[in-house]
Amino acid sequence: MAKPTILLAFLFLLLPALHADLAPPAVDLCSADFMSPIEVICGIASIAAILLIAFGYLLGQVTSNPKVSVWAKSEILQVLMSIASLFLLMLLVSSFCAINMSEVASIFDIPMAPNSAYSGNVYSAALGYLTNTLVFSHDALRVIRYHLEAFTVLSQISLFSCDMKSPSIDVFGVFSIPAIGWGCFFSYSGTQGQALGAYSSVMGALNLFYNSTLVAYITTLNFLFILMFIYKGFVLFLLPFAIFMRSMPYMRSFGSLLIAVALSFMIIYPLMLAVFGMMADVLLREPPNVAQFMNENTFPDNTGASALGASTAAALSSGAAYFEHIYFPNGDNVAGAIAFAAYAFIAGVFLPTSALLAAMASVNYLARIYGEDIDLSRILQMV
């Protein structure tokens, strides 16, 4: 009887720990303060779990039910495993904060400027990769948008040619009236039409790639949001909750999944992105002759007119070709815009998706370490 009494006293001694003050999460992942609240909350969760297990053991002893006592003993090991996971995470996070990616690059003989966006610790390098990919995708969007705007404006330019040489008119095959040739002198006679055509073949392709680049841009933004969410205290919720849930009856697989998710997204996902950042020299290389189309302040469809509304001499002499020249002084670069969109897709969709897949694979693997086999195929379909 003495043993259960001591346990009961121990339980009551632990209760005040549940009222510990929780500090808000620090912003910087690598600051000394970031892990402190996680440690506190995980500690509380561990204590709560231990309390519950101890209570179960007590109940088993009081009711002489060996099943409950055995359950309590096995659960203690699981709590220890969860706490070990916390220490592992702390160790890995502090290691990732200490690793400099430019030094990693030098191991693999990859040139990287020491002050580049990818040269900090693993977490800042991952952030640098997604931020620069976002800029890259946006640049691709700007180039395609410029072309789309230009071709839309150019296709709307209509031309009226006064009828100075209209064809002869055949009257019932009997005689023909010669060309009138008076055009606009007396009225409004002539030929009207699009001066530069409708650009059907270009608009279709550019619209397709505008949409795909928009998808790349939004996907990158989504991956960046996930990364920021991870950095701003993702584990703060998952890890303590997981430690507690793993000790609950029937909830172990859920708890294991949460620990696996916390570890994978804190370790694997940023690591993969930081590695892709090391390839930025090739990955984020723009196609040639596209920089001139990134000027979003140029809306030259009215630059041919003076303040009084009169056309300039250049506009008068060049006609519709004048506007074409304003938009594309050195010719358009549709092939370059399409290539840019393709590169943005690889950098903004293909590789970040690979990073997420690697994180998911890791979740599966880690969950297996904790003794649970979790089917994530449904979740992967969302990618």
Partner 1 sequence: MRAKALLAMFLLVSASFAAWQTTAALAMVTSLILVAIVFMIGFGFGVDALTGMAKDEVYQLIVLAVMVAALYGTDSFINALSTNTELAQGAPNLQTAALLSLNSTIDSLSTDYASVRAVDKSAGIASSQMLSCQLQSIGYTVSGCGGFSMLAGPFSLAGTIMGFALGELNAVHRLIELGLAYALTLLLPLGIVLRTFRFTRGAGGFLIAIAVSIHILLPAGIVFVDMLGESFLASSDASLYQPKDTLSGVSASCEPGDTGDGNSDAAISVYNSLRAAIKSYMYIIFVKATLGPVVAVLMMSAGIRAISSLAGAEVDVSALARVV
* Residues 301-340 within binding reach of partner 1 (CB under 8 A): 334-335, 338-339
Is there binding between residue 14 and partner 1 (CB under 8 A)? no
* DSSP H or E segment with residue 169: strand 169-171
Q: Which is nearer to partner 1, 178 or 193 (CB)?
A: 193
Is there binding between residue 10 and partner 1 (CB under 8 A)? no
* Site map 56..85 versus partner 1, x via CB under 8 A: ---------------------x--------
Query: 99 — phi, psi (to 5°)?
Result: -70, 135
Is there binding between residue 86 and partner 1 (CB under 8 A)? no
- Find the DSSP H helices in 232-301: 234-245, 252-277, 280-283
Per CB under 8 A, the list member of 129, 244, 343, 370 interacting with partner 1 is: 343
Q: Which is nearer to partner 1, 35 or 339 (CB)?
A: 339
* DSSP H or E segment with residue 208: helix 200-231
Query: 366 — phi, psi (to 5°)?
Result: -65, -40
Q: Which stretch binds partner 1 (CB under 8 A): 25-33, 57-65, 226-234, 271-279?
A: 271-279
Q: Which is nearer to partner 1, 44 or 263 (CB)?
A: 263
Site for partner 1 in 168-227 (CB under 8 A): 169, 180, 186-206, 208-209, 212
The span from the CA of 211 to the CA of 378, in Å, is 26
Per CB under 8 A, the list member of 94, 106, 158, 306 interacting with partner 1 is: 158
Q: Which stretch binds partner 1 (CB under 8 A): 37-45, 48-56, 269-277, 303-311?
A: 269-277
Radius of gyration of the CA atoms of the chain, in A = 34
Minimum distance from residue 102 beta carbon to partner 1 (Å): 14
- With beta carbons less than 8 A apart as the criterion, state whether 363 and 260 touch: yes
- With beta carbons less than 8 A apart as the criterion, state whether 169 and 199 touch: no
Is there binding between residue 293 and partner 1 (CB under 8 A)? no
Per CB under 8 A, the list member of 129, 241, 345, 370 interacting with partner 1 is: 345
Q: Residue 253, class by beta-carbon neighbours within 10 Å (0-12 exposed, 13-18 middle, 19+ buried)?
A: middle
Q: Residue 180, class by beta-carbon neighbours within 10 Å (0-12 exposed, 13-18 middle, 19+ buried)?
A: middle
For 150, residues 6+ apart whose C-beta sits below 8 A from its C-beta are 327, 328, 332
Q: Which is nearer to partner 1, 114 or 197 (CB)?
A: 197
